[in-house]
Amino acid sequence: MTIPAFRDQRELPDDDGYFSSLRTDNRPSWDNPSMPPWPQEQQPQYGQPYAQPDNFRRGEVTEPSMTDPTGWKAGTGVPVVDERPPGESTSGNRLLTVLLFFSGLATSVALWLFNTQAGSISNTATTMIAAGRVTGLIGGYLLFMQLLMMSRVSWLEEWVGSRDLLRWHRWLGTSLVTFVVAHIVFIVYGYALTAGTDVVEQGWTVITTFPEMISATIATGLLAFIALISIRAVRNVLNYELWHLIHLTSYGVLLLGYGHQIAAGNDMNGKFASVFWPALGCITIAALFWGRIVEPLWLNARHRFTVAEVVGEGANTFSIYIEGKRLDKLPVQAGQFMRWRFLTANGWWQSHPFSLSAAPNPKWLRLTVTIAGGHTRKLATMRPGTPIWAEGPFGTFTAERRTRRRALLIAGGSGIAPIRALLEDMPPDTIVIYRASRPDELVFRAELEELAEERDAWVRYIVGGRNDPGPRRLFTPDGLRGLVPDVNRRDVYLCGPPGLVNAAVDTLKQLDVPDSQLHLDPFEF
């Protein structure tokens, strides 16, 4: 497909005949549909726009049918085949990463084993102290791994994938807090039994007399606070910027806690431990420095991103076109996301992850944003030339991860952004299912249908409230199989709100779609 300049796409009339460019000169506004369209003589001429949706035969709003064998009024006409492409799978990468993780964990526990004499555990007190030492070593190791997963180094993102890193990060976060609390309880109780004092008195003695305990206590408090705000119910109350800022204090946990580990850790005295533990710290700090500082500096110095244009797309949705130097050298793929910091007077300190909504090309990048708060609302008013600081790219939500020759792309809400970009890289007979509550929430409809024509793909819109017949039928085994008869022989890419993703995954598992064929990019912080 020939890539048009961003002006070719931004000047498209929407379904009502309105032009959606966010210009300042008598422009129609995406948040004020009552404004009339430009007069004919004022309509900008920037090349041939995408044709109107009704001109295409591969995209239509799909509704249930009582008579059609598929259960839907529009069948896909896609043959059922079972072919495998030379696709790339990360299952081997994940397995090796898991093996390396548990090898490091076993080595950390072995530091206690090598430093403990036989017969030294003889009563309850020594058992509690031994348990405290072991849980302390495990907690220290998990802290290193947590920060390593937060480092954003590109090789780790490519090797494992941001989704798995996020999932492991959450699981390890819960485990880290558990082991740190267990370490404190076991140690204090063990020393209280040895000294013949109560637990509270012994706890105060440990804090005030043991080396580096004040800093360790502060680190524990920070860790507990981070764990509290990471609970979904609490996190949903906080805005992203505040949550992210507080989360960054986990670096302080490492700095404050490391001194305690070295000064008070009896298991750090051995020759091997004196090399292994500092090496873990150096690897973690080097990864953080490289991923958080070096790579972003190089990326932005090389490409110098700026805002080219802000374009309205529909109800509460707009696109940001981005220009830069050497975009042909930018190692980003359709389906990936980057973290964008728009350097405006009131938004320079805020960074948000946005996926590309069109496959990258040497002239421009496009992000599509749904207004979800004050920050995203202000982004819609940015002027061309606004400088941008970016980090990434991140994610393995790409066509390279396919393991089958055909694909099913399922999008909901603003999840259509990476799905629309992915469609440019997908093989023939790809099916796109686009879920929306109202027809005016469908964005990129003309683009999707032109791509479907050119790539021999199919687009199915499921529109309505969650209790309407079509949406209610969609994520049932019969409903999904009716739309996609060979669903378990396709790679399935899912992007949308958590409710949609979870419902789709449950249905796909009932249809025996293997995990290796599921590619998820749910909305996360």
| Residue 94 pLDDT > 70 | yes
The whole-number pLDDT of residue 105 equals 92
Q: How high is the pLDDT of residue 242?
A: 73
Q: What is the mean pLDDT of residues 375-387?
A: 88
User: 78-92, 247-261, 292-306, 344-358: which range is least confident on average?
Assistant: 78-92
Structure-block tokens of residue 87: 């696709």
> What pLDDT, on the 0 to 100 scale, is given for residue 63?
60
Give the residue-averaged pLDDT of 245-259: 73
Is pLDDT at 71 greater than 70 in this prediction?
A: no
In this predicted structure, what is the pLDDT of residue 152?
81
pLDDT at 64: 60
pLDDT tens digits, 446-476: 899 899 998 889 899 988 888 888 888 888 9
Residue type at 267? Answer: D
- Between the alpha carbon of residue 430 and those of residues 228, 270, 490, the distances in Å are 43, 59, 9
Q: How far apart are CA 247 and CA 269, in angstroms?
A: 32
The pLDDT of residue 346 is 77
| Alpha-carbon distances of 121 from 127, 128, 269, rounded to whole Å | 6, 9, 19
Q: Which residues contact 371 (CB under 8 A, 6 or more apart)?
A: 316, 317, 318, 377, 380
pLDDT, tens digit, 9 for 90 and up, residues 271-318: 787 788 889 888 988 998 998 899 999 999 999 999 999 988 877 889
Q: How far is CA 397 from CA 162, 229, 378, 455, 517, in A?
A: 9, 28, 28, 20, 12
Residue 203 has pLDDT above 90, yes or no: no
Kindly tell me if the per-residue pLDDT of 395 is higher than 60: yes
3-state secondary structure of 318: strand
Please state, in angstroms and as integers, the Cα–Cα distance from residue 472 to each residue in 288, 439, 486, 522, following that order. 45, 17, 21, 20
Residue-level pLDDT at 59: 61
Other beta carbons within 10 angstroms of residue 362's beta carbon come to 10
Alpha carbon distances (Å) from 15 to 18, 19, 443, 466, 506: 7, 10, 10, 24, 34
Question: What is the DSSP-derived secondary structure letter of residue 521?
Answer: -
Identify the residue with better confidence: 366 or 119: 366
C-alpha to C-alpha distances, 478 to 36, 159, 378, 408, nearest whole angstrom: 45, 36, 43, 16
Task: For 92-140, give the DSSP string.
Answer: HHHHHHHHHHHHHHHHHHHHHHHTS-TT---SHHHHHHHHHHHHHHHHH
For residue 75, pLDDT beyond 60: no
pLDDT in tens, 165-178: 777 888 888 888 89
Structure confidence at residue 73 (pLDDT): 62
Do residues 185 and 178 touch, judged by C-beta distance below 8 A? Answer: no
Q: Please check the confidence at residue 525 and state whether its pLDDT lies above 90.
A: no
Please state, for a pLDDT cut of 90, what percent of the chain lies above it.
23
Query: Which carries the bigger pLDDT value, residue 434 or residue 20?
Result: 434
Flag the least confident range among 31-35, 129-133, 220-224: 31-35
Q: Which residue has the higher pLDDT, 61 or 514?
A: 514
Q: Could you tell me which residues are beta bridge partners of residue 309?
A: 321
Task: State the pLDDT confidence band at 36, using cuts at 50, 70 and 90.
Answer: very low
Give mean pLDDT, residues 49-71: 53
What's the rounded mean pLDDT across residues 390-413?
88
State mean pLDDT over 313-337.
90
Beta-bridge partners for 405: none
At 262 the pLDDT is 65
Q: What is the pLDDT of residue 62?
A: 65
What's the mean per-residue pLDDT of the chain?
78
The CA-to-CA distance between both ends of the chain, in Å, stands at: 34
Q: What is the pLDDT of residue 358?
A: 92
- The model's confidence at residue 363, banded by pLDDT at 50, 70 and 90, is very high
For residue 29, the model assigns a pLDDT of 36
Q: Looking at per-residue confidence, does 295 or 261 come out higher?
A: 295
Closest CA to 148 of 255, 286, 253, 263: 286
Q: Cβ-count burial of 259 within 10 angstroms (0-12 exposed, 13-18 middle, 19+ buried)?
A: middle
